[in-house]
Copies of this chain bind each other. A is one copy, B any other.
Amino acid sequence: MVKGKMSKRQQQMITFIRDFLGDNNYPPTIREIGRACQISSTSVVNYNLNKLEDYGLIHRNLRVSRGIQISDTQHSPNLVPIPLVGRIFASKPVPVPDAPSSFAPDEYISLARDLVGDSADLFALEVSGDSMIDAMIGDGDVVVMKRQIEARNGDLAAIWLNDREETTLKHFFLEKGRVRLQPANPTMHPIYEKPENVQVQGKVVLVVRQINKA
């Protein structure tokens, strides 16, 4: 992960690589990129490719012709890449990413598009510990969330409790001046909070649990 924003050229290059890959199913060469982006020198293309790799947008296989892989997507229109931005603990607020595209996480999880839709505001968190057990979410589960400030009644949301200083995943209900937080596990009882004490950080859209990670 590296700071800095893409230059015009780098943006042009990565869009060309993406288009080329879509047309031909194999990545372009350095000279093909240069030709398409009006770059006369192969070393400049090489230079900017290294920058793009520093940003985490591509992966280069050194000394391999056409050894460019786009890391934001396995280049499948049916797969949605979701940045895995960190881990979630009950004792800390959810590390919600600020801007959608300004940063480049080092890890992605790919999911079929029909599972999560097309939203750009998705991010994934790996759960640490059993503190979310009342939401039927266990240690090692991956929760896919949609960044949003407000929740609608019934949403399973990540909620920061100001007084307790912890994050909880519960179903959100705003009812006559108070907030009811209902555990997903129906055998457990809800808790009630004052609206000014709760802070919605995002809405859970999917939970994935891999039993045997190879």
Question: Which residues of A does B touch, CB under 8 Å?
Answer: 24-27, 29, 61, 64-70, 74-79, 109-112, 114-115, 117, 130, 133, 136-138, 155-156, 184-187, 203-212, 214
Contact = CB atoms under 8 A, between A and B. Distances in A.
Nearest to A214: B117
A206 to B, nearest CB: 6
A25 B74 contact: yes
A204 B214 contact: no
Nearest to A138: B136
Copies in the complex: 2
A73 to B, nearest CB: 10
Contacts of A115: 109-111, 208, 210
Contacts of A77: 76
A158 B69 CA distance: 39
Contacts of A65: 29, 65-66
Given A111-B111, A186-B130, A75 B25 contact: yes
A61 B24 contact: yes
A25 B187 contact: no
Contact of A207 (B155, B156, B209): B209
Which of A24, A61, A203 has the most chain B CB atoms closer than 10 A to its own CB? A24
Contact of A138 (B67, B111, B184): B184
